[in-house]
Each structure stands twice: as structure tokens, then as C-alpha cells.
Structure 1
């Protein structure tokens, strides 16, 4: 079954989210990409994100959530509320959701801007495959320029290979049946 993509930015300028989508070669005007409007609602509001998903995403294309920073807080709440309402979610991908417990009934993946964030976040839910930047980068660079951030994809503790954050994300999207061009 095909999927939709729900992008949940953090608290930052919209240009950074535009850069994120460009770094993945995704066009935000596609009819299967939905960017939560943080200029109108708090990035951390799970109820607002849930309403946005219910009003925007067709029920025939379960969403893949990609969230960043404060957006991780709202997006994980929205995905859990959506699951309670029996609305399927394909996967959840968190970029720098430091300090946010990530648990749920869907596959969860983490990306971190450095090893410390990767390691300490895993204490609150490791999830499936994950990624951390090495060398470390600034927090906002992970979101704005994933194609420039290199690091390690960790399949399980001790098993890893070197990729860019953009490659890691594109492979996840393909795994969950979201077409990347």
C-alpha cells in the first residue's frame, strides 16, 4: 500500500524545511507530501498535528511521519493518538528528538546530529535502524542539509555502515513504499 509523507518541522524558519526536502530531492508540492504549518500551530502540539493529518492525508495512504526537534514531541503524540483511533501509520522517523521517549506499535527510526545524542536518546527507545552524524554537525544542519551530513547507519548495536543522512532517509522511505525520485 502506498504511503503519504507527513513532515513535522521544529521551531525554526520554513526555509530550513524547504532545504530538507530539497536535500532529499522531494518537491513539497507533490500531493502525497504534507508539511505541518508550524507558522500557524506549535510544533510540539500533538492534537494540532493529529487534526492536520486527519484533515489532509487521505485514509488510503497511511502516513510516514518525519519529525525534527520540537516537532518530534508533537508528531509522536499525534501518531500514538492516531493509532488509538485505528488510523494506520506506516513508520515514524525522528531527527534529533533528544529526550523524547519514542515508543509505539509502528517502526521507529532515529537520526541524531552527534553520537552523544544518538546514545542517550536510545535509552528512551532505540527503535529500528538509526543514524548518527560523524563527525558531529550542528543541530539545524541535520534538518537543513541531510545530503551533506555523513555518519553511521546502525542496524543493531555494533553493526553499522557509513552513509549520508539523505541516503539513510531515502532508503527508509523506499522501504515503507514512498516513491522517491
Structure 2
């Protein structure tokens, strides 16, 4: 299941505010402050730490089956998309990635696969990555990604071993997540990083 995307952005507070207004809930905030990584999770809000000049490594928001993360960057930069898979699917996808010559980077909680399209694919097997109790309330229907390389749909179909990958591509010199169509949105809107969020 396509459930996730991640950005680096200079608009960290604005991005959090945008998604909260779309009905998302903040689940974690981790950032570097005074040389050390610290947590600033809810119930803390921006009024509690705005003046501390925190370099946020990750802020995670969830709504139903949608999980979005973002961290501080010099400019909006699309990093990766994520699929929630079973352990068997995970292992099969990693095998295909190796056969395709794509690097896999397994971690304790997730695996990243490098692609020639200048973004990564995350494989997540832990169901707590989504709001399980409201999994049908909001979910990603499909995405549109721009990339200078041709053949994204074909390669992702090969990697995932399925035809319905829910991702379309457009050719552009910049790699960017252009559009995300979601169930559970009340209106079309554009996030602070230029991602068009469309209701399904």
C-alpha cells in the first residue's frame, strides 16, 4: 500500500500547520538543539520551542492510512515515498531490487531502496506507521512525480511486482512530488512545498 512521502523543507512550521489544518495529527518531532537530538513531541506546540532555533530532523503527521514526514532543509526537496508491505512482500521486493542493480539499505524499522530516479523507496512492515483504527478514513489514491529519467512506471512495476503502482510520472529536469490524490480530504489545496493535494 502506498502510504507515505517525505520532504526536506525550509518551511517546517508552515508545513506542519498546513497538514494539521487538513486533519492530520502530529505524532513526533525530533530536532537538534544545542548540539544534541531531542524530542519535542505533542503536547508541546510551537509556542513552547519556537525561539530555541531547533533544526528539526523529522516531524511526523498521520491521518488514517497516510503518513507524511518532513525535516529542515535549505529548499523544498522530495526525498522518498513509502509502501506498507508484509514481511514476505518486503523480502521479495528486496530480491527484485538486487536483481535490478538497485541498492537496498535495511534498517531496524524500515528498508530504503535507491532508485536511478533521484529519490528513494521506503519499505515499511510496521503497521503502527499508520493510524490503524482509522485506516479507511484517509488514504493515498495515487501520486504524480516529475523526474528527468524516463521509465519510472515500468521500473516501479518491476520492483513491486504489480501493475497497479498508483504512481504516474512526468518528465522534468527537477525531481519533485507534484500531486498527491487522497481519499478523506475536504478540498483541493497546495502545501507550502508546492505539492498539490487533490481530494478523491
Return the index of the structure with the highest Cα Rg: 2
**Same fold at TM > 0.5:** no
Higher helix share: 1
After TM superposition, the score normalised by the length of structure 1 is 0.33
After TM superposition, the score normalised by the length of structure 2 is 0.30
Higher strand share: 2
